[in-house]
Amino acid sequence: MTEADLGGSAAISADRLAEIGLRYEMDGEIATITLNRPEKRNAQTFATWAGLAAIGENLPEGIRVVVIRGEGPSFSAGLDLAMLGAPPGGDDGARTDGLTLASAATLDDATLERRIAEAQRGFLWLRRPEIVSIAAVQGHAIGAGFQLALACDMRVLADDAKLCMKEPALGLVPDLTGTKPLVDIVGVSRAIELCLTARTVDAAEAARLGLAERVVPRAELDKAVADLAAAVLATDRGAAIATKRLLQGAPGRTLEEQAAAERREQVTRLRTLFAALGSG
Ligand code: CAA
């Protein structure tokens, strides 16, 4: 696996990523993004989200699988608590861009919503049909950490994983794109129960609720993720993209609409497959 700079329109260097506590590596068709502030339990800031967005914008076309993992005992302890109150320019000023939630609250509505939208950009690209995203979660995934795991297509949990949507307990709402996948997976009632009690879900319960595709012993997490990535890569790329697009659209369509979407995707698949055979 090689650490890499990312070129493109919004290029970001490995050094800048390191500064904000991220590492980006490539191994063939797999990109691995590591939250790399273990001494702060991979707490996240506006800079983290900008870094994630820049990685998404510059992702090489050949990448088919994106793995998100965290260094150290926890996947991510969520929002950097420095953003809740430390004065701008304090210890974590560089990472928080000097922006605390208190200073953000003084912005006008449109500007503040734009800042939140910028943060959300770090998460939304993980759903692109062209890639399959996998979160490798050990230890705590709290608040923004849980939402980052939810932003991925699949979650592989170590048996010590602990998920918690803590935002409402802090007077906030989960706003990093986590509420929709949470409701899609567990339903509205369970999502209300989890968010409004801010209770912790362990790995076994996460598996029962459908929040984890696999639960494995802590020591086997990396291998389980690598095996899952390899299985995904064994599938034809065009079919994988079309199928993910189809599945993602299913909850918003009626049965008839979904059947029509299947037909449209299959027409393209058949033409592509037989054009390839014809030219062979
Ligand atoms: N922000 C900044 N620093 C954090 C942090 C966070 N969210 N979580 C942990 N740290 C720091 C600790 O301050 C400590 O630093 P020092 O060594 O300098 O004192 C270091 O990481 C290790 O922390 P612990 O000793 O507490 O480690 P632990 O392994 O015993 O516990 C933990 C880990 C359960 C995650 C615990 O640290 C914790 O509860 N952290 C706070 C979690 C939290 O409330 N996050 C906010 C979620 S809400 C959110 O994310 C809002 C949003 O998106 C809008």
Show the domain range for 121. 3-234
Residue 280 has pLDDT above 60, yes or no: no
Residue 92 has pLDDT above 80, yes or no: no
What pLDDT score was predicted for residue 9? Answer: 55
Contact 142, 195 (CB under 8 A): no
* Same domain, yes or no: 153 and 219: yes
Q: Could you tell me the CATH number of the domain that includes residue 21?
A: 3.90.226.10
CB atoms within 10 A of CB 97: 16
Order the strands of the 65-70 sheet from edge to edge.
Answer: 2-3, 22-27, 30-35, 65-70, 132-137, 154-158, 214-216
* Same domain, yes or no: 180 and 243: no
> What element of type H or E holds 32?
strand 30-35
Q: Could you give the C-alpha distances from 235 to 3, 89, 181, 229, 244, in angstroms and in order?
A: 26, 48, 24, 10, 12
* Same domain, yes or no: 151 and 249: no
Residues in the chain: 280
How would you classify residue 166: left for phi > 0, otherwise alpha for psi between -120 and 50, otherwise beta? alpha
What pLDDT score was predicted for residue 2? Answer: 72
DSSP state of 77: -
81 C-alpha vs ligand 1 centroid, how far in Å? 7
Helix axes 179-186, 188-197, angle to 10 degrees: 120
Q: Tell me the pLDDT tens digit for each residue of 32-73.
A: 999 999 999 999 999 999 999 999 999 999 999 999 999 999
99 C-alpha vs ligand 1 centroid, how far in Å? 18
- Tokens at 130, concatenated: 């062209």
* Same domain, yes or no: 155 and 256: no
What pLDDT score was predicted for residue 94? Answer: 43
* Same domain, yes or no: 226 and 257: no
* Same domain, yes or no: 268 and 226: no
What pLDDT score was predicted for residue 257? Answer: 98
* Same domain, yes or no: 212 and 250: no
* Same domain, yes or no: 227 and 246: no
Q: Tell me the pLDDT tens digit for each residue of 225-274.
A: 999 999 999 999 999 999 999 999 999 999 999 999 999 999 999 999 98
Which atom from ligand 1 is nearest to the alpha carbon of 170? 48
131 C-alpha vs ligand 1 centroid, how far in Å? 31
CA nearest ligand 1 atom 22, residue: 40
Percentage of the chain lying above the pLDDT 70 cut? 92
Pocket perturbation via mutation, ligand 1, pick of 35, 37, 40, 41 by most ligand atoms within 8 A of CB: 41
* Same domain, yes or no: 81 and 218: yes
* Same domain, yes or no: 193 and 250: no
Count up the domains in the chain and report the number.
2
Q: Which residues have a Cβ under 8 Å from the Cβ of 215 and sit 6 or more positions away?
A: 156, 157, 158, 159, 161, 203, 204, 206, 207
The residue among 4 and 90 whose pLDDT is bigger is 4
* Same domain, yes or no: 183 and 96: yes
CB atoms within 10 A of CB 77: 25
CA distance 208 to 210: 6
CA nearest to 119, candidates 39, 168, 198, 174: 174
* Same domain, yes or no: 145 and 248: no
**DSSP-derived pairing of the beta strands 22-27 and 30-35:** antiparallel
Query: What residues flank ligand 1, with Cβ below 6 Å?
Result: 40-41, 43, 73-74, 77-82, 140, 142-144, 166-167, 170, 172, 175-176
209 C-alpha vs ligand 1 centroid, how far in Å? 25
